[in-house]
Each structure stands twice: as C-alpha cells, then as structure tokens.
Amino acid sequence: MKGDATRLGACVRSIRLLQDQGAMDAARDVADAFATECGAGALAGDALCAYVASTAVELHGSGSALIVEGAHEDSVYVLLTGQAAVRRFGAGDVARLGPGDFFGEIAATTGTARTASVYAVTDCLLLCLPAGGLTGLARYLPPVRDMLEAASRERLLPAIMPPGSGFDLLDAEQRARLFECFVPVTVPKGTRILREAQKGAGLCIIVSGQAEVWRGGVNDERNVLATLGPGACFGEISLLFGLQVTATVEATTQVTFFAMKPVDFKRFVELFPDIGAHFVRMAEDRMGRPQVQRMAISTEHHIVRGGVRMSYAERATFTTTAGFHRGRCPVCGYADADIVCVSCGTVQ
C-alpha cells in the first residue's frame, strides 16, 4: 500500500516491536510523532500506544491461512514479521505482503465478508487489531478511519473497475468519486440477486464468489446462459434500455458485490457517454448485436415519432415492419407479445 496507509502499518508495527522489547519511551515517541503528523490531539499518542499494547499477537506457520475469502470476520491485521500472499478465487495470487503491511481493512470498513484469502508464504507473526478497538481509537486519532477507508478503496478499485471495463476511461479522481456511488453487499449461496421479468436493482459488480445467469423456459426448465465471477458486472441491460430484468442472476456461492443504484447509473452514463457506449457493446457481446438493436427499438422509451410516444397499435405495426417475431410470451402467456411483452415486460 502507498502513502498514509503504509505509514499507519509501519507505525503500528514499530510501536508493538518496541513495546515487546520493553522500550516504552521509544514506542511513545513513535506514537506521538505519528499523532502530530496527523494533526491529532494531545491524547492521541497515549491512545495509540495503549491500543497497540492491548492487541494480540498471532504466530502462523508457512502455508497456513491467515484470513479466508468469504469468512465473516472484520479484524485488521498488521504483519510484524514474515511474508504473505493475497489470493482471490478465480484470480490466483494478486499481491504480496511484507513486514509493516496490513490487510483485512475491506471487511472492516465495508461490512462485507472477506473478499480475498491471505496465506503465509513464510512463518508469520501478526498483530490482530479488532475493528471495535479501531473505532474507539479513531475518536482520538480520526485519520485512522480515513487511512483504512482509503486503503480499502485502493484495493477494491482494481476489482470493481478493472482494465477494459470502460471505467479506465476515467481519471483517478473520477474513479474515486464514482466508487462512493457503489454499495457493498454480501449474499449467501442461492440468493437470486436479480430476478427475470422484475425491475432492475442497479449495476452490480462481483468482487468475490460466483453467480449463474439463467432464464426460465417451458415446464420450469432453467436455461443457463453464463457463469459470472470476480470482476464481472450485470444488471446493465435493464438499465440501458429501461426494461425489466432479462435473466435471473443467482449466487452459486456466497457472493460479495458492489451495486450502483439505477439513478446513479443513469447520471453516470449521461455524464460519460463513451462509457455508456462501452456497456452497450458489452450487451452486444452477451446477447448479440441484432437482439440488442431489437431491444433498443422496442423499448418504449425509444419508440417516439415527432416527440409523441407511439400507441400500441402503431408500435405493433412498427415491430412487424422491422421484421421482428410476434407470438405468445413465454413468461405470462400473453398471446400477442412482440420483442418486449406489453403485459409483463419480458424481452423475448
């Protein structure tokens, strides 16, 4: 980690190692210097020393799991000695950690399950910082909370906005502002995050876990369309075209994802039309360009002539003239459905 986050981990490590050696005055000097640098009050150094002294030290052998992806636990850890690797399901090792680095701040600041595992590459000595204690420390040293949140954002941004996602068209400040629009969510296996033919919940990006995309067929058949993992986004199709959700997305493991509300997504693509175009291309890759074009034409928002919305009769003529299939809706059974069923909103 960079900047303030690195200084925090290094400071906590130095204080604890000095305390363990009995050098209490030197530990206090380090804490006071850090508190002064942060612009904290006169009691901040004492509070930091007392908190670090109260925390537990853990020894873990090489190859052991320090934290496990998907676990519901929110302590932050500082690596006192040793080397560790950060591993994410579906992505392998994504980072290396050394003395003075800390980890676990994502769960502590967002309230989600663990979004990655950390394994000991060598024997490791860890300092465990309970989240509740950090909250108390922040009363005396408020920048601690800001540092942990900044570190969490820095580690999450590559997972939420990876290269090639369209978000890389934004500069660092714009990505940081956009990050604030996302809400973190963890759901258990079997949860239907989006439901076919219902209103969309927003743009969702998976950080941890897997989900299955499927559509219902005749006789309650499940037609699986795709499996989604970390970095995959979903929900954009219903938002782009103002439709109900075109397929169910169901968690096949515990899933942690970040969701952007529809109103924020709308403002976002209006402000950055190039990124909106990127999401349209994503929809074309998933569903095929002809189908996306049919959705765009058939969505009532787009079917306007001379500023006046078409009636259903005009819309039916328009759809038939364009060569689109008409027939019975597979979801609600409506007998005269076109690409978008006017009875239930299903996209055929």
Domain boundaries, the chain: 4-155, 175-287, 303-348
Q: Say yes or no: do domains 4-155 and 175-287 share a fold.
A: yes
Q: What pLDDT score does 142 carry?
A: 92
Question: How many CA atoms lie within 13 Å of 160's alpha carbon, on the beta-carbon side?
Answer: 23
At residue 165's C-alpha, the angle toward residues 296 and 192, to 5°, is: 70
The span from the CA of 192 to the CA of 194, in Å, is 6
Length of the chain: 348
Look at the pTM and tell me if it is higher than 0.85.
no
pLDDT the model gives residue 162: 84
User: Span 4-155: which CATH code?
Assistant: 2.60.120.10
Report the alpha-carbon distance of residue 238 to residue 199 in Å, rounded. Answer: 8
- Please give the chain's pLDDT, 348 residues, in tens: 334 667 899 999 999 999 999 999 999 999 999 999 989 888 999 999 999 999 999 999 999 999 999 999 999 999 999 999 999 988 889 999 999 999 999 999 999 999 999 999 999 999 999 988 998 999 999 999 999 999 999 999 988 998 888 888 899 889 988 999 999 999 999 999 999 988 888 999 999 999 999 988 777 788 899 999 998 999 988 888 888 888 999 999 999 999 999 999 988 888 888 888 888 888 888 777 777 766 665 554 433 333 334 443 444 443 443 334 445 566 656 554 544 454 444 544
Answer whether 75's CB lies under 8 Å from 130's CB.
yes
First-last CA distance in the chain: 48
pLDDT per position as a tens digit, 295-336: 665 554 433 333 334 443 444 443 443 334 445 566 656 554
Q: Which CATH superfamily is domain 175-287 in?
A: Jelly Rolls (2.60.120.10)
The pLDDT assigned to 314 comes to 44
Q: What angle do CA 126, 128, 130 make, to 5 degrees?
A: 170
What pairs with residue 304 in β-bridges? Answer: 309
- Asked if residues 30 and 96 have their Cβ atoms less than 8 Å apart, the reply is no
